Chains A and B, each alone.
Chain A
Amino acid sequence: MTEPRAIRIVLVDDHHMFRTGVRAELTSSASAAAYGSHRDGTSTRSTPRPPAPALEIVGEAGAVESATAVITETRPDVVLLDVHIPGGNGRGGADVIRACATVKTGSGAPVRFLALSVSDAAEDVIAVIRAGARGYVTKTINAAELLTAITRVADGDAVFSPRLAGFVLDAFGAAAGEVAEIDEELDRLSAREREVMRLIARGYQYKEVAKELFISIKTVETHVSSVLRKLQLSSRHELTAWAMGRRLL
């Protein structure tokens, strides 16, 4: 999806104030980014791209049912999804993702979800990731980083915060030195994936990870997506408990 068209966004959050804030932030930082004035931006691309994607916020919702309706109707590229919203089966954001699993955008790509929450609790993160979210960022993220994350998710890549990366390292026993022998193994990380996760946990941007490991950004994105897939498909249903059990050496 490299055609320069606006990324269509739906905001789902039960706090009206927060929606207003994000809307203002995104529209202003998107126009600022259009002049290339911030550090992270979209310059992390290896191939030259239009410096900033235009953002278009096409809908807002504050509960599971209304969110499902809005998403089905507007078919956005990215949904910014709060983890804790009322309605549905009581599982908040995860319910929305499940309800909208089959919705496709105009160009045929699935609607992508980026979870946005104040909660750092592993249970919340894992619930939405396993439901199908492409990434997880906390609400304290700054506007430029949020923009980067949205762009990345719109392209079908995964977005990991340092804390999510740390959780992944715990859950897959990578901190204790467990490494998958074949890449396809779902319960462990490959050596390269582990390296990428460690650098993300250290606060590196994707381009910095690429530079550090002498690989392309595209490869970094591939590794991150592969980790996301493992996180979603791993047969460990109790990932959180599993991670906690492996935490203490």
Chain B
Amino acid sequence: MRVDPDQTLSEPPKALAGLARGLEVSEYEGVQTTPDPGARTSSPAVTPAVGAAAGSAPAAAGTTRPPLVRHVEGHVIGGVAAGLASHLGVPVAFVRIGFLVTAIPFGAGFAVYAFLWATMPRGVAEPVAANQMGAAPEPSAGSSRAQARFDLRTVKVWLRSGNEPVLLTLFGVIALIVAGALWLGTAGIGIRPEVVLPIVAIVIGTIFFWSQLDDADPIGARRPVRWIWLVVGLGLTSLGLVGLLVGSTDLSQLWRVGGAVLAALVGVAVLAAPWILRLWTNLRAEQAARIRATERADIAAHLHDSVLQTLALIQRRSDDPAMVARLARAQERQLRTYLYDEDARAGTLGAALTVALGEVEDLHGVPVQLVVTGDRPIDEHLDALVKAIREAAWNAVRHADPPITVYVEVGPTTVEAFVRDHGAGFDLDDIPGDRAGVRESIIGRMERHGGTARIRKRSDGTEIQLRQPVMAPAGPDDSGPGRDPTSTGEADPQHDPGSRSLPDPAPSKPKESEEAQS
């Protein structure tokens, strides 16, 4: 695809209008990466103009437009061009070239870039954007496919390589600017290189320097700073400054000028230091206070939604001790989950058991004590085990006496579960054949999944022992593709939805068992 300089030159203003509009939307949204209908409806008005100007982006117009954010990854300076490209649906290289070309004569590209850098929020490249950039090219238009392939390559280059392309680009910028200046010089407009060159050096040095400060979101947050960039930026800037100041004066005065500059800098630093320090401490204090306030608001909201509601309910139902006990127990469990952050182990056997036994408690108001040692990601066999345990606990709360204890031990090769109650006990042979609770939901279910179930009648209760062999933890388990058994203890947002759906707390489950039993 060719780039007509004139067209590209005419692009920025229009694109800017679109950007301004997109910006409004995305600022209202904060940094949320989900494109909302508002962003979608506002953009088509802009898209045709830009699409015509750039001669591309047929696919982007109809589909969801990624929000206008600076890309954290794949950035060269500030990620503005990459974000702009994925927002407009044009190849990132064109945007970059556009910026450079427009920057040459009067520095308009620089101004636009700086403006966008300052105003665009940071964000992560959307999957949508990735698709548009060529992972899954639209089959409709040939042009878009060619663009996608082209784009894929450039994106890859930008993503995979380190600092080299950045340096190359910067040298390119210098070369272009020098060329532009020379061209302007020959055209008769007086450009004095001794003025232009230091300015260019200062600008580039500043870009180097700022690009390191840029994405430190909370000031003072610890993040790796590439010192080499800072040094290069500082060096370029001071060189440029000195060059500008010294100008045409002769070189012997350089030391004196340098000394004066240094002295002035030190003086300013000494004067400003306490002030900056105080500003800094104030900022930190304010930040801490704000974080505390936010946390407090969160906790208050949670308490209001849960504890206060339950307390109100308890007061209204104070004549019903069983109900009060049930409400208190349910609330206690919920609060514990909140306080001890048990969401962090979502997708594991322990979490699924907590949910399942919580339901049993809620349905009958009898506390069930759960102890789990070890843990592992849940799979279909363990899911069956959870259901069998749930059934056993369900039987216990209905037919036996508390305390009811569930102990689950996750070993390297087997998961063992013990559900113990203090009831009169029952004999499997005494249960009529048409009642499927124990025989089908516990024993049958375990056997279908390769496990065993044993019912032990003790003098003061019953203990149901379940055994489910599992694969060795080192090997890949069958809980789903891409699941790394060593890392699943932490909350893994990508896997959560899938694994959450596996345990299937199954609101229909008690009904099923009731039907089976009655």
Q: Hey, which bits of chain A sit against chain B, CB under 8 A?
A: 39, 120-121, 140, 162-163, 165-166, 169-170, 174-177, 198, 201-204, 208, 244, 246-249
> Does B373 lie within 8 Å of A169, measured CB to CB?
yes
A33 CB, min distance to chain B CBs, angstroms:
18
Q: Note all chain A residues with C-beta closer than 8 A to B336.
A: 120
> Does A201 lie within 8 Å of B407, measured CB to CB?
yes
> Does B375 lie within 8 Å of A248, measured CB to CB?
yes
> Does B340 lie within 8 Å of A120, measured CB to CB?
yes
Residue in A162, A175, A248, A249 whose CB lies within 8 Å of B405: A162
Q: Hey, which bits of chain B sit against chain A, CB under 8 A?
A: 336, 339-340, 348, 367, 369, 371-376, 403-405, 407, 409-412, 418, 420, 458, 460, 463, 473, 485-486, 488-489
Known: A203-B405, A244-B489, A249-B485. 19 other contacts (CB 8 A): A120-B340, A162-B369, A162-B371, A162-B405, A163-B369, A166-B371, A166-B372, A166-B373, A166-B407, A170-B374, A175-B411, A176-B374, A198-B409, A203-B403, A203-B420, A204-B420, A248-B348, A248-B374, A248-B376
Cβ-closest chain A residue relative to B470: A249
B331 CB, min distance to chain A CBs, angstroms:
13
Cβ-closest chain B residue relative to A138: B369
A164 CB, min distance to chain B CBs, angstroms:
9
C-alpha gap A112/B486 in the complex (Å)? 41
C-alpha gap A177/B340 in the complex (Å)? 27
> Does B374 lie within 8 Å of A165, measured CB to CB?
no
A181 CB, min distance to chain B CBs, angstroms:
18
Q: Note all chain B residues with C-beta closer than 8 A to A175.
A: 373-374, 409-411
B139 CB, min distance to chain A CBs, angstroms:
44
C-alpha gap A45/B361 in the complex (Å)? 33
Residue of A140, A169, A247 ringed by the most chain B CB atoms within 10 A: A247
Q: Note all chain A residues with C-beta closer than 8 A to B375.
A: 247-249
Cβ-closest chain B residue relative to A245: B489
> Does B373 lie within 8 Å of A202, measured CB to CB?
no
Q: Note all chain A residues with C-beta closer than 8 A to B411.
A: 175-177, 249
Q: What are 9 A-B contacts with C-beta separation under 8 Å?
A: A162-B369, A166-B373, A176-B412, A202-B463, A203-B407, A246-B374, A248-B489, A249-B410, A249-B412
Q: Note all chain B residues with C-beta closer than 8 A to A176.
A: 374, 411-412
Residue in B339, B405, B412, B485 whose CB lies within 8 Å of A202: B405
B324 CB, min distance to chain A CBs, angstroms:
14
Cβ-closest chain A residue relative to B336: A120
> Does A169 lie within 8 Å of B376, measured CB to CB?
no
Evaluate whether A249 and B376 lie within 8 angstroms (CB atoms) in the complex, with A175-B410, A198-B409, A203-B407 already known.
yes
C-alpha gap A244/B411 in the complex (Å)? 15
B216 CB, min distance to chain A CBs, angstroms:
29
C-alpha gap A246/B375 in the complex (Å)? 9
> Does A121 lie within 8 Å of B376, measured CB to CB?
no
Q: Note all chain B residues with C-beta closer than 8 A to A121.
A: 339-340
Q: Note all chain A residues with C-beta closer than 8 A to B407.
A: 162, 166, 198, 201-203
C-alpha gap A176/B374 in the complex (Å)? 7
Q: Note all chain A residues with C-beta closer than 8 A to B376.
A: 248-249
C-alpha gap A168/B304 in the complex (Å)? 36
> Does B340 lie within 8 Å of A248, measured CB to CB?
no
Evaluate whether A202 and B348 lie within 8 angstroms (CB atoms) in the complex, with A177-B411, A247-B489 already known.
no
C-alpha gap A156/B95 in the complex (Å)? 78
Q: Note all chain A residues with C-beta closer than 8 A to B486.
A: 248
> Does B473 lie within 8 Å of A163, measured CB to CB?
no
Q: Note all chain B residues with C-beta closer than 8 A to A162.
A: 369, 371, 405, 407
Residue of B369, B371, B412 ringed by the most chain A CB atoms within 10 A: B371
Q: Note all chain A residues with C-beta closer than 8 A to B489.
A: 244, 247-248
Q: Note all chain A residues with C-beta closer than 8 A to B473.
A: 249
A160 CB, min distance to chain B CBs, angstroms:
11
Q: Note all chain B residues with C-beta closer than 8 A to A177.
A: 411-412
Cβ-closest chain A residue relative to B350: A247
A134 CB, min distance to chain B CBs, angstroms:
20
Cβ-closest chain B residue relative to A123: B340
